[in-house]
Amino acid sequence: MSSPFHSASFEDLTLPLLPSLYNHAFWLCRNHADAEDLVQEAISKALRAFDSFQAGTNFKAWIFRILRNTFLTSRTGIAASRTVFLEDHPDLPGATDESPNPEDHLIRLDNQAALNRALDDLQPQLREVLLLCDVEELKYKDIALVLDVPIGTVMSRISRARRTLHQQLKVQLGESL
Amino acid sequence: MTQTTQANGHLGPDQLSAFIDGELSSNETYEVQQHLTDCHECALRVLSATQLKAATARAAQQFAVPPEALARLTAQLRPQEPKKTGRIYSFRSVTWAAVAAGLLLAVSLLGWRQNRQATALSAELLDQHLAVLSGGASPEVISTDRHTVKPWFQGKLPFSFNLPDVLPADTTLKGGDLAYLNGQPAALLLFTIHKHEVSVFLTQRSGSPIVAVLPGTQSGFTIHHAMTNDLRIFAVSDVNPADLDLLVSALVEAQTSR
C-alpha cells in the first residue's frame, strides 16, 4: 500500500504535528482519553490515505481535515453536530462595531483566566476556526479545506469569533479597560 | 476580496481580521495601511485585534500531550513490520497489538487440542472484533436507538431478531453493521459496557451445525455464546464476563419474549 519512502515521509511529516493534533483534538473532545483515541484514529486513516495526499499541498491542512472528519463521525462528534449553528449572517446584531469610544477597543489581555473562559464559552464552530487560524497559523484557503467551506465563510467566521471573544472579555472584565 | 470599508469610512470587521492575518492582497494591504495612518480609531482596533490574536494563540495551546500518550502516538508512527492484513490498529495500538498477538498465539495453540472449526470461529470472531476496535470500518448504522438499528437490517438478512427494550446498566447500543461469520450472513451489533467495546454477532441457528466449545476467556477477551430457537448469539469483549453475560441474557430474553 505504502512504499517505504512514503512511510518515512508520513512519519517525518506527522511527528512534528503530534502536539498540535493533540491540542486540537482535546479542544474537540474535551478529555484526554478521547483526544488520544481521536489522534490515533486520524493518523491511521491518514496513513491509509497517504497515497492520495498530493505532494506540494499543505500536509498540515490535509491531516487536520482528516482529524476533524474523524471527530465528526465519532459519537461525541455526532452529538456535537446536533447543535445548530447560525451560519455567518453579516447582519446579525453585533456584526458592526459601534463602540463609541476608540479606547473601548482595547481590553486587558493579561487576564489569562478570563481569556480561557471566553474561549471555553465560544461556540465550537467559532472556536474551531479561530484555533486553526491563530494557533495553527493556517491560511484561510487551508482552513477552508479543513472545514470544507468557502473561503468567504472562513473569513466571516474568524471575524465573528474575534468579535464574540472581544465582547465576552469586555463583559467578564467588567469593562475594566 | 473583502468589503473595503464600512459606511462610516472605517475598516469593516472582516477586512480588519483579514489584514492582521495577512490575507489581503498587496493592493488591499496598502489601502488599509494608508487608512491607518489617518484613523486613530482603526489603528487602535488593529492593535487590539493583534493583541487578541496573540493572546488567543497562547491561551489555546494549553493541552499538552501527556508523555505516555505521546510515546504511544510516536510508536504508532514508526515504520511497522508488514502485517498480513495491512491494517493499522488504532485505539492505543501498541497495547492492542500486544493483546492481539497474545490472543492469536493462544488461539492457535488451542487449535492443537480443540475442535478446529470452533477455533477458527473464535479467531474469526476476534478478528472481526479487532477490526471494529481498529475503527477501520465504521458501522453502517450509527444509532443508540433500537428502533433505528433493528429496521436497518430488514431485507438485508435472511432472518430477523429483537433488541431488548431495556439494556443492562451502563450498557449502550452504538450501532450495527452486516458481517459474515463462518460463511453465514450475520448482524453485527456494537455496544459499550462501562466504555468497553462489545461486538455481538447474530446468525441463523439453522446454518452449519458447528461450535461445540468456544474458548471462554483468552488474553483478556471474553467470547460468550448463546442459542435461542432460531439464532446463535456470539458476544466478544474485554469487559468482565459477568457484565457480558447480562447483555447476552438480555438478548436471549428479547428473542424468546416476542
pLDDT at residue A98 tops 80: no
Task: Please report whether residue A42 resides in a domain.
Answer: yes
Query: Who wins on pLDDT, B200 or B1?
Result: B200
Give the model's confidence band at A9: pLDDT under 50 very low, under 70 low, under 90 confident, else very high.
confident
Same domain, A12 and A73: yes
Same domain, A10 and A73: yes
Task: Please report whether residue A86 resides in a domain.
Answer: no
Q: How far apart are CA B23 and CA B4, in angstroms?
A: 13
pLDDT at position B258: 53
* Cβ contact B144:B129 at 8 Å: no
What's the pLDDT tens digit per position in A62-74? Answer: 999 999 999 988 8
Q: Which CATH number goes with the domain that contains A28?
A: 1.10.1740.10
> Any CB–CB contact under 8 A between A79 and chain B?
no
Same domain, A17 and A73: yes
> Any CB–CB contact under 8 A between A48 and chain B?
yes
The residue range of the domain holding A41 is 4-80
Of B6, B77, B138, the CB nearest to A73: B138
Please list every residue in chain B whose beta carbon sits closer than 8 Å to the beta carbon of residue A115: 55-56, 59
What's the pLDDT tens digit per position in B68-109? Answer: 999 999 998 876 544 444 444 455 555 666 666 666 666 555
* Cβ contact B175:B151 at 8 Å: no
Q: Which three cell numbers stand for residue B172?
A: 449502550
Structural domain count of chain A: 2
* pTM for the model: 0.54
What's the pLDDT tens digit per position in A161-176? Answer: 999 999 988 887 765 4
Mean pLDDT of chain A: 81
Residues 6 or more apart whose CB falls under 8 angstroms from that of A113 comprise none
| Residue that has been written with the C-alpha cell 483526544 in this structure | A35
pLDDT at position B78: 79
> Any CB–CB contact under 8 A between A69 and chain B?
no
Same domain, A162 and A124: yes
Q: How far is CA A48 from the centre of its chain?
A: 24
> Is residue B193 packed enough to be buried (19+ CB in 10 Å), middle (13-18) or exposed (0-12)?
buried
| Residue that has been written with the C-alpha cell 429496521 in this structure | B151
Domain locations along chain B: 13-60, 70-256
Q: How far apart are CA A163 and CA A154, in angstroms?
A: 14
Same domain, A69 and A107: no
Q: How far apart are CA B87 and CA B96, in angstroms?
A: 13
Residues 6 or more apart whose CB falls under 8 angstroms from that of B82 comprise none
Q: Which CATH number goes with the domain that contains A163?
A: 1.10.10.10
Fold held by B70-256 = Phosphorylase Kinase; domain 1 (3.30.200)
pLDDT at position A140: 97
* Cβ contact B118:B214 at 8 Å: yes
Sheet containing B171-181: give its strands across: B141-142, B171-181, B184-193, B196-204, B231-237, B221-227, B217-218
pLDDT at position A65: 95
ipTM of predicted assembly, 2 dp:
0.81
